[in-house]
């Protein structure tokens, strides 16, 4: 099946899309269910209240998609480009992101439950005021990300790049590998208001 365009409240289900050029669409309330999408280009589209369920997206271009208030449920997203995507106030449950570029993205005030990010670039991505429950970040680049005001429960972080991460106090209660904790020692100390003392002279011997 090939789609030439999307319309408001369009329902598409149980089909495969491959290589469809759908950049710059405007389709509020569009819904994709039980889909396999490969190499589909939706970049720059306005898809507020988008719904995707029981689907797999591979190698798709979702850069600069505006999808405020979206709902993603039981979705695998692999090798996709989501630079600048806006998913503010959205709900993501049972979603797996793998080898995706999700930098400069907005997940502000999102609700994420049982979501995993593996080998993803999340640099400068905004999780401001988001709620994260059972979310896992593994081998991701979170440089410059923003967790201010986020609430995290039962979350795990493993072997990530965390330089310049804002809102590190939101990591309270998360599980992290020791190497990540050591690498973040300075940032954590600053967040806790701990001052660094210069090493004094050795004690007399």
Q: Could you tell me the residue range of the domain that residue 49 belongs to? A: 14-189
What's the number of domains the chain is made of? Answer: 1
What size, in residues, is the chain? Answer: 205
Distance CA 102, CA 166 (A): 17
194 belongs to a structural domain: no
The structure tokens listed for 40 are 């589909």
110 belongs to a structural domain: yes
201 belongs to a structural domain: no
- Here the CATH number for the domain that contains residue 113 is 2.160.20.80
Sign, CA dihedral 51-104-82-114, equals: negative
Q: What is the 3-state secondary structure (H, E, C) of 106-149?
A: ECCCCEEEEEEEECCECCCCECCCCEEECCEEECCECCCCECCC
Query: Within a 13 Å sphere around the CA of 167, how many CA atoms are in the beta-carbon half?
Result: 18
140 belongs to a structural domain: yes
pLDDT tens, N- to C-terminus, the chain (205 residues): 678 789 999 999 999 999 999 999 999 999 999 999 999 999 999 999 999 999 999 999 999 999 999 999 999 999 999 999 999 999 999 999 999 999 999 999 999 999 999 999 999 999 999 999 999 999 999 999 999 999 999 999 999 999 889 999 999 889 998 888 887 787 777 776 777 777 666 667 6
Residues 6+ apart with CB under 8 A from 205: none
197 belongs to a structural domain: no
39 belongs to a structural domain: yes
199 belongs to a structural domain: no
Sign, CA dihedral 191-192-195-201, equals: negative
């Amino acid at each position: 099946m090939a789609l030439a365009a999307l319309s408001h409240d369009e329902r598409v289900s149980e089909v495969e899309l491959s290589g469809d050029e759908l950049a710059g669409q405007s389709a509020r309330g569009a819904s994709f269910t039980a889909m396999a999408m490969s190499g589909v280009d939706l970049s720059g589209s306005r898809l507020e209240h988008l719904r995707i369920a029981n689907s797999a997206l591979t190698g798709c271009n979702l850069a600069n998609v505006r999808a405020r208030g979206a709902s993603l449920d039981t979705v695998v997203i692999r090798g996709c480009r989501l630079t600048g995507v806006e998913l503010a106030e959205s709900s993501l449950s049972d979603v797996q992101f793998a080898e995706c570029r999700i930098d400069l993205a907005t997940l502000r005030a999102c609700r994420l439950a049982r979501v995993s990010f593996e080998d993803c670039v999340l640099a400068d991505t905004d999780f401001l005021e988001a709620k994260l429950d059972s979310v896992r970040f593994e081998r991701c680049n979170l440089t410059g990300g923003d967790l201010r005001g986020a609430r995290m429960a039962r979350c795990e972080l493993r072997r990530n790049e965390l330089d310049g991460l804002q809102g590190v106090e939101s990591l309270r209660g998360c599980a992290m590998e020791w190497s990540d904790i050591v690498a973040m020692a300075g940032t954590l100390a600053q967040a806790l208001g701990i001052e660094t003392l210069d090493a004094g002279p050795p004690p007399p011997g």
